[in-house]
């Protein structure tokens, strides 16, 4: 399509608005490099079209859009390493840092375990060589498909003292509590602790004195029981582990 | 550095040097303007949000090419926004003419909102001027212009939509823009 300068000039406003059909768009585009007058005209109309953008009702974008923008443009943060449950770190440290371990260390552990957050802050302090290598630990794994629960049992070498630490167990209604079962090779089940968890599903407790040294028990389970506990497990099992 | 006191051009210079705070400040100034245009064109909030994100992401990526364009920064932003929105509309090919077609009296008579402290008085004045200019257009010119500007319709599509001869539509659009250019240039 070949058009005269006069015809092109008539098309410039619509070209600025981007509403010409393809052939006219091409005709104007090819005319522009050779015609300063039409280029000036285009610039002038372009400015008019630009200003139309201001004649719209004002609507604020949702506030979170700015965060989405900044997340897009900021270089991706390094991927954090997979979260290791604090007790695994603790157990690893305790296993490797010292040769001697006894009731004192366990009590320290329990004292620290009063608050999950507080314990995390104290982890570095525990790198002192005063604490333990010779204890035994048993990891407890959740037995329900959608559970995040984890737990660990720590037993002193002499089998006299034990502690249980759990994380991410669902808080229970008031009329229910969790109960730890110590299981020996004859499948005899002895209550090891009756406990509730805090809002984060966390709790650390000392294991009750059992008829036999703790090392005698090779399997452990935690069930949901009526408040105060049961003589034997009756409810749903939520955590389990074995030596 | 207090980014809120910097000119738009300085912000772009800092954006070109990868300073996120400068982009944040530019976003504070113009996100409302960009989003308002986008949602007027595409109607769907989630699409308008995407367009807004694309505009400012592009600013982040292309800030160093801005100097060549010579436009005001806010103009540059709305051009990108409108081009994005038109692309979206033409891809969808399902524009609602009733949305794009009416540049309502309520819209052009709206008093520019005062509740955006980040937006300069100058920009608010510009809004008022442009609305007043659009208000002076005859209804049929305003309608054709609206279909082209907001809907991304071509002459042919507008003629079909309005069931008017092609020549009539071309004349309406041309007359509308001539008149707007005249009114707005008087203001400067
Ligand atoms: Zn020419």
Domain boundaries, chain B: 1-97, 100-188
CB A122 within 8 A of CB A93: no
pLDDT band at A100 (very low <50, low <70, confident <90, very high): very low
Closest chain B residue to A57, measured at CA: B107
Burial A8-17 (b: 16+ CB within 10 A, else e): bbebbbbbbb
Q: Name residues 82-111 of chain B within 8 A of A (Cβ).
A: 82, 86, 103, 107-108, 110
Mean pLDDT of B60-79: 81
Looking at domain B100-188, its CATH architecture is Orthogonal Bundle (1.10)
What gap in Å lies between CA B157 and CA B148, rounded to an integer? Answer: 9
The ranges assigned to domains in chain A are 126-242
CB contact under 8 A, A56 and B107: yes
**Does the pLDDT value for residue A145 go beyond 60?**
yes
| Tokens representing residue B151 in the block | 């809907």
Which region holds residue B74: left if phi is over 0, alpha if psi is between -120 and 50, else beta? alpha
CA distance B34 to B116: 14
Q: What's the CA gap between A7 and A11, in Å, rounded?
A: 7
Q: Is the pLDDT of residue A97 over 80?
A: no
CA-to-CA dists, residue B28 to A30, A61, B13, B42, B81, angstroms? 39, 11, 17, 22, 16
Q: Per the CB < 8 Å rule, is A65 touching B86?
A: no
Q: Which residue has the higher pLDDT, B127 or B27?
A: B27
Task: Say which of B39, B103, B170 has its CB closest to residue A59.
Answer: B39
Q: What is the mean pLDDT of residues A226-237?
A: 91
Q: Over 50: is that where the pLDDT of A159 sits?
A: yes
Measured between CA atoms, the residue of chain A closest to residue B118 is A60
Name the closest residue on chain B to residue A59, using Cα atoms: B36
Residue by residue, what is the 3-state secondary structure of chain A?
CCCCHHHHHHHHHHHHHCCCCHHHHHHHHHHHHHCHHHHHHHHHHHHHHHHHCCCCCCCCCCCCHHHHHHHHHCCCCCCCCCCCCHHHHHHHHHHHHCCCCCHHHHHHHHHHCCCHHHHHHHHHHHHCCCCCCCCEEEEEEECCCCCCCEEEEEECCCCCCEEEEEECCCCCCCCEEEEEEEECCCCCEEEEEEECCCCCCCEEEECCCCCCCHHHCCEEEEEEEECCCCCCCCCCEEEEEEC
ipTM for the whole complex: 0.88
Backbone angles phi, psi at A24, to 5 degrees: -70, -40
Between the CA of residue B103 and those of A55, B127, B175, what are the distances in Å?
A: 9, 15, 16
Q: In chain B, what residues touch A76 (CB-CB under 8 Å)?
A: none
* pLDDT at position A193 over 60: yes
Q: Tell me the two tokens of residue A127.
A: 């790198």
Contacts of B181 in chain A (CB under 8 A): 13, 44-45, 48
Average of pLDDT values for A176-190? 91
Compute the distance from residue A13 Cα to the ligand 1 centre, in Å: 13
Domain A126-242 has CATH 2.60.40: yes
Which residues of A are less than 8 Å from B37 in CB distance?
Answer: 53, 56
pLDDT computed for residue A34 by the predictor: 94
A:B CB pairs within 8 Å: 137
Buried b (16+ CB within 10 A) or exposed e, A191-205: bbbbbebeeebbbbb
**A165, pLDDT greater than 90:** no
Q: Are the beta carbons of B103 and A55 separated by less than 8 Å?
A: yes
Distance from residue A44's CA to the centre of ligand 1 (Å): 14
pLDDT, tens only, A18-72: 999 999 999 999 999 999 999 999 999 999 999 999 888 888 999 999 999 999 8
Contacts of B79 in chain A (CB under 8 A): 50
B82 contact residues in A (CB cutoff 8 A): 53
Structure confidence at residue B155 as a pLDDT band (50, 70, 90): very high
C-beta atoms of A50 and B78 within 8 A: yes
Q: What backbone phi and psi angles, to 5 degrees, belong to A163?
A: -135, 150
Mean pLDDT of A137-155: 83
Instruction: Give the closest of B127, B134, B155 to A21, CB-based.
Output: B155
Q: Do the Cβ atoms of B158 and A47 come within 8 Å?
A: no
HSE-up (13 A, CA, CB side) for residue A21: 10
Q: How confident is the model at residue B166 (pLDDT cuts 50, 70, 90)?
A: very high
Would you state the pLDDT for residue B97?
57
R_g of chain B, CA atoms, integer Å: 18
Condensed to tens digits (0 to 9), the pLDDT of residues B95-131 reads 655 566 667 766 766 665 555 556 677 778 888 889 8
Q: What is the DSSP track for B54-85? A: HHHHHHHHHGGGHHHH-S-HHHHHHHHHHHHH
Distance (Å, whole) CA B122 – CA B126 = 6
Q: What is the mean pLDDT of residues B170-177?
A: 97
CATH topology of domain B1-97: Rna Polymerase Sigma Factor; Chain: A (1.10.1740)
- pLDDT above 60: residue A106: no
d(CA B154, CA B159): 9
Find out whether A73 and B60 touch, Cβ atoms under 8 Å: yes
Cβ within 8 Å of residue A218, ≥6 positions away? A183, A184, A185, A242, A243
Contact of A239 with A196, CB cutoff 8 Å: no
Which chain B residues have a beta carbon less than 8 Å from that of A14?
148, 155, 170, 173-174, 177
Choice among A115-119, B48-52, B116-120, B121-125 with the minimum mean pLDDT:
A115-119
Fold match, B1-97 / B100-188: no
Query: What is the CA B83 to chain-centroid distance, rounded?
Result: 9
pLDDT tens digits, one per residue of A4-14: 999 999 999 99
Please give the DSSP secondary-structure letter assigned to residue B2. Answer: -
Interatomic CA distance for residues A86 and A151, integer angstroms: 10
Q: How far is the CA of A66 from the centre of ligand 1 (A)?
A: 44
Q: pLDDT tens digits for A73-87?
A: 876 555 555 566 655
Kindly identify which residue of chain A lies nearest to residue B112, measuring between CA atoms: A58
Pairing of strands A176-183, A219-226: antiparallel
Q: CA nearest B9: which of B54, B58, B47, B64?
A: B64
């Amino acid at each position: 399509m070949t058009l005269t300068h006069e015809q092109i000039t008539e098309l410039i406003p619509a070209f600025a608005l981007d509403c010409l059909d393809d052939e006219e768009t091409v005709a104007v585009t090819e005319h522009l490099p050779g015609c300063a007058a039409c280029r000036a005209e285009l610039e002038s109309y372009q400015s008019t079209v630009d200003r139309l953008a201001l004649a719209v009702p004002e609507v604020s974008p949702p506030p979170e859009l700015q965060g989405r923008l900044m997340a897009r443009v900021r270089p991706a943060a390094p991927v954090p390493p997979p979260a290791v449950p604090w007790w695994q770190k603790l157990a690893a440290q305790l296993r490797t840092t010292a040769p001697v371990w006894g009731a004192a260390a366990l009590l320290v552990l329990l004292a620290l375990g009063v608050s999950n957050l507080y314990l995390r802050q104290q982890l570095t302090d525990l790198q002192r060589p005063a604490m333990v290598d010779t204890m035994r630990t048993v990891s407890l794994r959740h037995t329900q498909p959608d559970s995040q629960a984890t737990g660990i049992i720590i037993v002193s070498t002499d089998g006299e003292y034990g502690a249980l630490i759990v994380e991410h167990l669902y808080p229970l209604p008031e009329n229910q509590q969790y109960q730890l079962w110590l299981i020996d090779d004859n499948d005899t089940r002895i209550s090891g602790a009756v406990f509730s968890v805090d809002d984060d599903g966390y709790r650390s407790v000392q294991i009750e004195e059992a008829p036999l040294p703790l090392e005698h028990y090779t399997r452990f389970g935690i069930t949901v029981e009526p408040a105060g506990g049961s003589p034997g497990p009756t409810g749903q099992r939520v955590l389990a582990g074995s030596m | 550095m207090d980014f809120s006191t910097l000119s738009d051009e300085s912000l772009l210079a800092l954006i070109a040097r990868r300073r996120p705070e400068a982009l944040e400040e530019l976003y504070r100034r113009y996100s409302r303007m960009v989003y308002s245009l986008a949602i007027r064109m595409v109607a769907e909030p989630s699409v308008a949000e995407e367009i807004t994100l694309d505009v400012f992401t592009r600013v982040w990526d292309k800030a160093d090419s801005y100097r060549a364009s010579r436009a005001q920064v806010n103009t540059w932003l709305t051009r990108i926004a409108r081009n994005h929105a038109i692309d979206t509309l033409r891809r969808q090919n399902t524009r609602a003419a009733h949305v794009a077609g009416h540049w309502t009296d309520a819209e052009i008579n709206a008093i520019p909102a005062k509740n955006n402290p980040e937006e300069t008085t100058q920009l608010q004045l510009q809004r008022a001027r442009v609305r007043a200019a659009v208000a002076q257009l005859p209804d049929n010119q305003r309608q054709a212009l609206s279909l082209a500007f907001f809907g991304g319709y071509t002459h042919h599509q507008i003629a079909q939509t309005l069931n008017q001869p092609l020549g009539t539509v071309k004349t309406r659009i041309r007359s509308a823009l001539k008149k707007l250019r005249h009114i707005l240039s008087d203001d400067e």
